[in-house]
Chains A and B, each alone.
Chain A
Amino acid sequence: MLNYIWMGLIAIGILVAAGNDIYNETQNTYRNGVPMDAVVQFDESSANDLTAKGKINMPADAFRAFYDLPAATDVHQPIIITTSSSGEKLFTLPVDDSSPKHWKEMTKGALAKDKLSGRIVAYTVADDAKSAHVRLEFEPIRFVKMKAVTQSALDIASTAVSIALGLIGVMALWLGVMKVAEEAGLLKALTRLLTPVTKRIFPDVPTDHPAIGAIIMNTAANMLGLSNAATPIGLKAMEELNKLNPKAGTATNAMVTFLAINTGGLILIPATAIAVRVSVGSANPGLIIGTSIVGAGCATIAGVLASKILQRLPVFKRDLVVVEKEASHG
């Protein structure tokens, strides 16, 4: 199943990227070869300096009309104008979060990262040299999506490694604590407490197995929003469940049910969402506590039920059958 989904994500991604690039090329979404008229207000430097810094101020309507966009906001974009020794004037737009969205997208297809550049084909300086009428010819912007696909694939590959390596410390801490708890018989005690529930959800796992203790602790940590502790303990639970796995490399029913509880995201306080609500000035940031509990509760119940129903399907049952040869390999 994951084979199909994985292949699908990559194939659809690349094909859609190609389609988008062809569409943008035919529609000339980025207005290649079309000069843009604008007014530059200079900060401190004068329009006649060799390197002049200023701002392009453009009303939303003019920007929207030029690129034929459905919506736009007023543009206040910093610009750097340089004059080469041959007298040719060049410009650079350092694009950041305050820049128009369309320009931010265009930088993905530009030569340099996070900036757009080009030539100035007409330059009329105002009398006080504080501003100038300019006609900008942008560098051609092509294959925006393809370049974005390449860039993000390469970037995320190293991000993935940092994420995994970043887990080492907390993993070590919690695996150590869990080992102590296991040796002390604490996990067993915890397990006995919830046996009536867990034996129904995980009928394949012996009721006093350490996996159950880890599952309980993982769920508790998740519900309290302690994801730093939840992931290592969850992985410990997976390792314990894997000890009961008759077929290495294939998920057991108990593993899938456990994953369903985890992906359902059962939580008592959605701390991240509340923090963001506070930061954008919500009058009642805690409003979503109740709704999130309902949403995640439904998702978790649906996930557990789905895992119980789907595990009976012949398609998924078949994979559990242990072939002689594989069994001897352990």
Chain B
Amino acid sequence: MGDLFRSIINIISILAIPLVLLLFLLWGFFKKVKVYEVFVEGAKDGFNTAVRIIPYLVAMLVAIAIFRASGALELLTTLLAPVTSLIGMPPEALPMAFMRPLSGSGSLGLMTELMKVHGPDSVIGVLASTMYGSSETTFYVLAVYFGAVNIKNTRHAVPVGIIADVVGMLAAVWIVRVLFF
């Protein structure tokens, strides 16, 4: 069942982009849209958007890099490990929970290391990869998406993102506990 689902989704994700390109452009063509001219007109904005993101991305990534390099995550883990063990979360997986919203490459490295050390099919291995799979790099998304439209006052976006992350991490612990161990 899982394998069938996986191969169906795999095929869809391989075909998605060529099909979307073909379908969208053909549809436009038959609707008498001057496809080439309109495409170029739209594509022009790509450069501006990308350049607009730069200051936001620099600000966000530098702050996160300083925080990571300082060893503050290790400190946070030591302080919070007794609390999170109460809900059945192994302390080894805790850094993953903190890293996931902050850094995509950092959490990828952590997940890989945890699986190498504890085995990919152990509780910690399954939990780490579930945590990785069940969230996005919140702060990166915030910087890029708001940066693209020059939003500086993000209002409740940060608390919302953090709430989503905490719930995602707790749900990952819960589902892994219930299903496998």
What residues make up the interface of A, taking CB atoms closer than 8 Å to B? 1-2, 5-6, 9-10, 12-17, 20, 145, 148-149, 151-153, 155-157, 159-161, 163-165, 167-173, 175-186, 221, 224-226, 229, 231-232, 234-235, 238-239, 241-242, 245, 248-251, 255-256, 258-260, 262-265, 267-274, 276-277, 279-300, 302-303, 306-307, 310-311, 313, 316, 319-320
Contacts and interface: CB of A to CB of B under 8 A. Distances in A.
A298 B49 contact: no
B114 to A, nearest CB: 10
Nearest to B63: A9
A160 B72 CA distance: 22
Of the four ranges (under 10, 10 to 19, 20 to 34, 35 or more), the interface on chain B belongs to 35 or more
Contact of B45 (A175, A229, A290): A175
Contact of B42 (A156, A177, A263, A274): A177
A287 B108 CA distance: 18
Contacts, number: 389
Contact of B171 (A148, A185, A235, A299): A299
A151 B68 CA distance: 12
B82 interface: no
A281 B5 contact: no
Contacts of B28: 180-181, 183-184, 186
Interface in B1-47: 2-3, 5-6, 9-10, 12-13, 16-17, 20-21, 24-25, 27-28, 31, 33, 35, 38-47
Contacts of B5: 289
Given A286-B6, A316-B156, 17 more contacts: A6-B60, A14-B66, A148-B70, A156-B65, A160-B54, A168-B50, A175-B44, A176-B41, A262-B136, A263-B161, A263-B164, A264-B168, A265-B135, A288-B133, A295-B133, A295-B172, A302-B167
B87 to A, nearest CB: 15
Contacts of B3: 286
B165 A299 contact: yes
Contact of A149 (B66, B111, B126): B66
Contacts of B61: 156-157, 159-160
Contacts of B172: 291-292, 294-295
A253 to B, nearest CB: 8
B24 A186 contact: yes
A188 B126 CA distance: 41
Nearest to A175: B42
28 contacts: A2-B154, A5-B158, A12-B67, A149-B69, A156-B61, A160-B61, A171-B47, A172-B43, A173-B46, A177-B21, A179-B38, A224-B16, A255-B145, A256-B156, A259-B142, A260-B164, A272-B108, A279-B112, A280-B116, A282-B115, A282-B120, A283-B120, A284-B121, A295-B168, A295-B172, A296-B133, A303-B163, A306-B160
The 7 A-B pairs at the shortest CB distance, nearest first, are namely A295-B134, A179-B42, A270-B133, A299-B168, A172-B46, A292-B133, A303-B164
Nearest to A295: B134
Given A272-B108, A291-B176, A148 B69 contact: yes
Contacts of A177: 20-21, 24-25, 39, 42
Q: Which of B53, B57, B155: most chain A CB closer than 10 A?
A: B155
B80 interface: no
Q: Which of B31, B57, B111, B136: most chain A CB closer than 10 A?
A: B136
